[in-house]
Amino acid sequence: MEDSALLNAIAWWFLRKRRSYVRPAHYQAAFRGNSFETFWRYYRSPDERDLVRFLRLSRTEFDEVHSKIRCLLEHCPTHLRPRQDMERLAIFLRFLAFGTTYCAVAHLFAIGDLTAYDICKEVSRAIVTVMQAKFMPPPNRQTWERSAEGLSIWRHLRHMTSV
C-alpha cells in the first residue's frame, strides 16, 4: 500500500504541468536579450523621426523626461526586475502614445502582460510624483476667480458650472 502511494506521488511529481517563470513564447527573446532591440534601434537611429514615430517623443524629449524620473525608476537589477529604467520608460510611453492594451505592449517587448502593467504603474507613479507640482499645481484663490470670470462670460450660474 505504501509503495503504491509513493509511486503515485512520484508519478504525479513528474507528470504535473510545470509553470515557467518566462513564457515559452518569450524564451528566445529573453535568453538572447533582444526583446528591447526594437526600442534601441529607434533610439539610436540617426533619423530623429524614427523615435518620434515609435514613442511620439524626440530623443531630447525622451532624455529630458528620463533625467527627471530616473532616480525613482532606478533599482538594483534582479531576475525579477531585469529591465533598465530607460526600457521601462519606453514601455510606458509606447502604451500612452498609441493607446494600446497592456497585452499589445507586452507582445511588442516580449514581456508578460502583468509585467507591462506593473511597469506602467511604476512609471506613471514616478511621473506624477516628480511632475505634478509643475504641470498640475493645486488651485488657489486666483485660479478660482479666473475660472469664475470665464464662466460669467457664458452667463452660467456659478454653482451649476462648478459641479
- Give 79-101 pLDDT, tens digit per residue: 655 678 899 999 999 999 999 99
Q: Minimal CA–CA distance to 30: which of 72, 85, 93, 79? A: 79
Report which DSSP code applies to 17. Answer: P
Q: Phi/psi zone of residue 68: left (φ > 0), alpha (ψ -120 to 50 degrees), beta?
A: alpha
Kindly report which listed range (22-26, 101-105, 152-156) carries the lowest average pLDDT score: 22-26
Q: CA-to-CA distance for 60 and 68, rounded, in angstroms? A: 12
pLDDT tens, 117-136?
A: 999 999 999 999 999 988 88
Q: CA-to-CA distance for 25 and 58, rounded, in angstroms? A: 31
pTM of the model: 0.69
Q: Does position 27 have pLDDT exceeding 50, yes or no?
A: yes
Q: CA-to-CA distance for 92 and 111, rounded, in angstroms? A: 13
Domain chopping of the chain, boundaries:
21-138
Q: CA-to-CA distance for 26 and 22, rounded, in angstroms? A: 7
